[in-house]
Amino acid sequence: MNRYSKVTLTIVSLFISSSIYAHSSTPNPMLVEAGKRLFNSFCIYCHGIDGSGTNAPAANLSGVPTGDLSNKAYMSLLTDKEIINRVAYGEEKYPYLQMPGWRSNLNGEKITAIVAYVRTLAVDQGPLQGPTPTERLKRFQNDPLERGRIHFLRYCSGCHGKKGDGKGWMAAKALNKPIAIGSAKIAPTLTFDSVKAYVTNINRWDKSYMPVFSEEEILPKLADIIAYIKTLPKQYSK
């Protein structure tokens, strides 16, 4: 960790320990307004103008659905400290969210303002239908297939499609069309060694325009990704 990161972390930590994080029913109007401006600069592209993620231009870029900040039942389960950490660290601390961390761009004061504004977006949509924040974390920690699903969506679905059918949102623009990696013909043949050799091979540009991944980045996730891909033929053959 460099000096800048340590200073930024210290600032964030100081704000986390401050009473300004208390969930207040009467937020400071000036803080909320500052948070709105920052939200519209840094967050709106994924979360949308109302925080729901609906029709936001970048909502599906990672493959993992953008969190609905307008869902009161879900947001009420998160403390201000937890939301601040999510904004500051993103997928570094919460990999199942697949969102960037903003602590290099936003100091603690600005992140606090964003959280104050985000709190105003929550509306009552009835009882929570999906998993709670704690359940999402435990599922990611304890279930290899859930980790594989998240990482597949993040790293593979843009080209290979969420179903592994080769029809991801980037597929139409690809020079070489992605294969249907989740098909019954291909998925069962995948091995760790064969996939590793392919996705980390920097000398295959004459054959494929698929991105080359560093071993440091992809190998810790690869076994779970392959395990998930092997479930795709059964999932989508019905």
Helices (H), the chain: 3-16, 29-42, 44-47, 72-75, 80-89, 108-119, 133-142, 144-155, 157-160, 192-199, 215-229, 232-236
**What is the mean pLDDT of the segment spanning 107-118?**
97
Q: Which domains, and CATH codes, for the chain?
A: 3-131 (1.10.760.10), 143-236 (1.10.760.10)
d(CA 112, CA 12): 9
Between 55 and 43, whose confidence is greater? 43
Residue 123 confidence class, pLDDT cut points 50, 70, 90: very high
Q: What is the pLDDT of residue 238?
A: 56
Instruction: Specify whether the CB–CB gap between 145 and 224 falls below 8 A.
Output: yes
pLDDT band at 15 (very low <50, low <70, confident <90, very high): very low
> Is the pLDDT at 50 greater than 90, yes or no?
yes
Distance between terminal CA atoms of the chain?
49
Condensed to tens digits (0 to 9), the pLDDT of residues 126-177 reads 999 989 999 999 999 999 999 999 999 999 998 999 999 999 888 877 777 8
211 pLDDT band, cuts 50/70/90, is confident
Contact 72, 123 (CB under 8 A): yes
CA angle 99, 105, 107 (to 5 degrees): 105
More confident residue, 24 or 60: 60
What is the mean predicted confidence (pLDDT) over 97-125? 95
Share of the chain above pLDDT 70, in %: 88
